[in-house]
Structure 1
Amino acid sequence: MILAEILRLNSASRARAYAGEVLVLRQVPSALALCARFSLLLRGAGSTFDVDASETPFEQREDLCQTFELDEEVGVLFREVFREAGVEGGGTYWDRPRLRIQQSGCGVDDVANSKLFGHGKFSSTLPPHRDTWASNIMQQLNWWMPLEEIDEGRTMCFYPELFDRAVPNTSTGWDLDELRARRKRGLPYPQLPELDHEGVAKDPLVSELMRPKYVRPLVGVRPGDVVVFSGAHLHSSVVNTTGLTRYSCEIRSVDARDLRKGIGAPNVDGEAARVPLHWFRNVDNQKLKLTAA
């Protein structure tokens, strides 16, 4: 995957991301500190987590994810990543940090059932999807960071030829609020919209462009690098068979000014009924709104 190196995420670089470029900020000090903090949580005193095990019990993985995501220092460092990237806190909204633990040989997550993987919160190997099939917010940017070294066999990948081409999917009728309501009642619900495999099979061009020769794994990034891309990109996890675990973290952001101006990535195939703006909050814990603040 060709990466476009940037020094700051400003309106010009956001526009590049909305057009399909995958951006990278190199060796961000706070991202390096985030890696160090994660290593301490993973290997520090009292930790019993087997770093490269292939079948760690789910409860242990869930505990590590929750520890990382709720850690006060981790929260501070994520805010510092945004600041060092030149992002203004007041006009920028985000969801929450996520830790991904992808063990070797784990296969692809069953995203059709949110009762798995801690009600969908702790997924590790996601199938091809656009985040915007769920969020319906075309200004969404994904921030992705490897916490330890990665390689071509344990990373994520993109389908760049399908960035601006409609792909059959199950976003019609999917609803974030319904997902949350079902979780509370312990009922299954799709964790996220995914490919409509029957529809894809009937579309020769889409089927062709999903073949391995068109798929671009994310390589050339190291711990401390921050990758930023549009949530409208079709992307997935590379199925890990390396014998080593992939550790990465991510967060999503929305620039409120771009949202209100209608500046964003193209929506070529998203059909979710709602736009769940309340998914995102700013540094002052205010919910995202379409109206001016």
Structure 2
Amino acid sequence: MIFNGDVFLYSATPASTKLIEFARELIEEAFEGRDPQTAQHEMPVEEFAALLAELKPRFIHHPTSKKILAALLEELGMALDKTYFDVPRLRTSTADHYLDSGISYAYHAHRDCWYSAPFCQVNWWMPIYEVVPENVFALHPHYFDRPVLNGSGRYDYAEWTAVSRPTAAQHIHNDTRDQPKPEEAVDLQPELRFVPEPGGMMLFSGAHLHSTVANTSGRTRFSIDFRTVHIDDVRSRAAAPNVDATCRGTTLRDFHRADDLSHIPEELAAAYEAEALAKVT
């Protein structure tokens, strides 16, 4: 159903609540007594960006994050020996264009599959604090099976991870990195905005066109997202349709098996990489 464009919403569970509580602990420790959701109004943007540059990797790579994430997948009935996840990422969306670049990038309309994600990828998203329609993100479902002229043909995941991603914190006032974007006018209406409770989860295909909502709430939004693939889907090529992605490389090597954190078998990643290269040559 997800590969056909359906979206699933889940209420908070014990494990998802534990994950956001752990994230809050790290966030509030980093902000040293300031309210993280309103601290942008008290801090120079350079200081805020530097704080996030330390905070985000700490959460992303913390063993506790991965441990709780595996428990969450098990709680929802996923087969841990067949489900692979990438690291859970801490995201921020600041209000009133305070910091839209680099470490707190405000994403234009895009598909994750323009960024070399496999088409069997399922995206998970959950807010850490309460959110409102003015600070979440939007899905644009009428483009699920409709191509959009875009810049994915210039995107190579290996180059991105080696060169562009490590410079994120340097882009404070504008972001000069070449990222896949629509290269034609797109009509983003109608759109879908969901407002889960803290720890509530939204699951959707990485092939969906989606974008960061311009945050007019006056508060910084903190959220967690991660992605999963099922190894049987990876092998069989069961997936959402590819209507317009022409990028090179694959993100599959970033995925870890939920039960033991082993990587996707290299032969599968290499095969996806070769297929992506063949499509653009």
TM-score normalised by the chain length of structure 2:
0.82
Distance in 1 (alpha carbons) for counterparts of 2:227 and 2:4: 17
Q: Write out per-residue CA displacement over residues 244-286 of structure 1, whole angstroms, 9 at most, x where no aligned residue.
A: 1101001111111012112110111011133343132223333
Change in Cα spacing, 1:24 to 1:186, as seen in structure 2 (3 Å) is closer
Read off the aligned partner of 2:218 and give its amino acid letter: G
Q: Write out per-residue CA displacement over residues 107-157 of structure 1, whole angstroms, 9 at most, x where no aligned residue.
A: 6845xxxxxx2xxxx334211100011124110111101111000000010
Alignment coverage as a number of residue pairs: 255
Aligned to 2:142: 161
**Any idea what SS the aligned residue of 1:224 has?**
coil
Name the Cα RMSD after superposition.
Answer: 2.6
Larger proportion of helix = 2
Gap regions ≥5 residues in structure 2: 169-174, 269-281
Aligned match of 2:24 in 39, 46, 55?
39
Contact 2:155 2:180 in 1 (8 A): yes
Distance in 2 (alpha carbons) for counterparts of 1:184 and 1:19: 31
**Any idea what SS the aligned residue of 1:214 has?**
coil
Aligned to 2:92: 101
CA drift at 1:73: 2.4
Read off the aligned partner of 1:217 and give its amino acid letter: R
Change in Cα spacing, 1:45 to 1:104, as seen in structure 2 (3 Å) is closer
Is the aligned partner of 1:135 residue 2:116? yes
Distance in 2 (alpha carbons) for counterparts of 1:185 and 1:141: 25
Aligned to 1:274: 249
Distance in 2 (alpha carbons) for counterparts of 1:259 and 1:101: 30
Change in Cα spacing, 1:86 to 1:37, as seen in structure 2 (3 Å) is same
Gap regions ≥5 residues in structure 1: 1-15, 111-116, 202-206
Read off the aligned partner of 1:28 and give its amino acid letter: T
**Any idea what SS the aligned residue of 2:131 has?**
coil
Give percent identity, aligned residues only. 30
CA drift at 1:41: 2.1
Is the aligned partner of 1:25 residue 2:10? yes
Aligned to 2:232: 257
Distance in 2 (alpha carbons) for counterparts of 1:45 and 1:130: 31
Is the aligned partner of 1:287 residue 2:278? no
Is the aligned partner of 1:70 residue 2:32? no
CA drift at 1:37: 1.8
Contact 2:30 2:51 in 1 (8 A): no
TM-score normalised by the chain length of structure 1:
0.79
Aligned to 1:170: 151
Aligned match of 1:81 in 72, 95, 99?
72
Is the aligned partner of 1:92 residue 2:83? yes
Contact 2:86 2:226 in 1 (8 A): yes
